[in-house]
Amino acid sequence: MFKLRYITSLLLAATLVSCDKRDKLDTPAFDVTTDKLNYKKGDSVVFHFSGSPDIITFYSGEPGNEYQYRNRTELEGGTTNLSFSTRVLYGTQDNNLRVMASNNFSGSYDTNSIKAATWVDITNRFTLSTGSGTATVETPSGVSNITDLLSPGKPIYIAYYYVGYGPLTTAQQRTWRVMSFSLSNSYPDGSVVSLANLASAGWIGVNVKNPANVWTVTSTLVYFDPKSSLVESEDWVISKPFFVSRVEPDKGVAIKEYMSRKTDHVYTYTKAGTYKVTFVGANTNAKEVKPVVKELEITVTE
């Protein structure tokens, strides 16, 4: 009986040692070379691999695909620009529409929260549609730099505020259509990050006076059409919060998976420039990852 237990213990110990060796993860032997470092735009760049890590991830060095920015979630130093287009129809009242901005709106889309917030009227920074009846056209607002409205660590909200004056005996309140919208950040290196368009701005309407009149939101149009235009109206349509300095971390492209073998990778650059190309080769198991990072600087000319 003792001998059987002894043998069983030896077998168990051997099994544990064997499993430990199997689970031991080695850092991969991995390197990357190219035939040259200078190319013309449109050339095929061939990267040669030695070693065979479990996975390989490729960062081309182009904007949005840079290894150095893989953990970046905020990008400072940008200029925040706002533009949109409008069309006004029918009626005769002036100054029905205001463009407003706030960085202390609570995010609760109700009358009390709107009144509690500080709103800056930025209408005079833009060109709005004019004219009468249906003889009007879509009018671009122009692009306005609204960086001065930002507050560190706080979002900004953009709103369209409609005021219809009354009481009236004839229909004078006007229909307003917001037909396009663009909020973006531009940076000194020439890159532009889109923050929102008309469909993605997250518009929510809030009625303050005259529930017969409300903003209507679709994916292609945000508009106010006064169904009851003889009595006073007050209505808001407010965007979602924009954290304008937030950016998505740059991402690499997985070019090799665990069971495959890869000896090279071909890539073509369509723009001239100098690119820091990064390959991350890694061995993995359920418990850990052991990466090796290899970088090359590729110059692409016209």
CB-based contacts of 191: which residues, under 8 Å, 6+ apart? 63
Sign of CA dihedral 39, 297, 189, 141: positive
Predicted pLDDT at 173: 84
Query: What is d(CA 300, CA 302) in angstroms, rounded to the nearest whole number?
Result: 7
Instruction: Give the residue, 238 or 227, on which the prediction is more confident.
Output: 238
Query: What global pTM score does this model have?
Result: 0.67
CB-based contacts of 125: which residues, under 8 Å, 6+ apart? 99, 144, 146
Predicted pLDDT at 159: 98
Give the CA angle between residues 222, 224, 229 to the nearest 5°.
Answer: 175
- Contact of 258 with 55, CB cutoff 8 Å: yes
pLDDT in tens, 122-158: 999 999 998 777 777 899 999 999 999 998 889 999 9
Mean per-residue pLDDT, 49-65 = 94
Which two tokens mark 9? 């213990």
Which two tokens mark 124? 């005079």
Predicted pLDDT at 242: 96
Mean per-residue pLDDT, 257-276 = 93
User: Cβ–Cβ contacts within 10 Å for residue 159, how many?
Assistant: 20
Does 9 have pLDDT greater than 60? no
Which amino acid is residue 300, in one-letter code?
V
Mean per-residue pLDDT, 77-93 = 91
Of the pLDDT bands very low, low, confident and very high (cuts 50, 70, 90), residue 259 is: confident
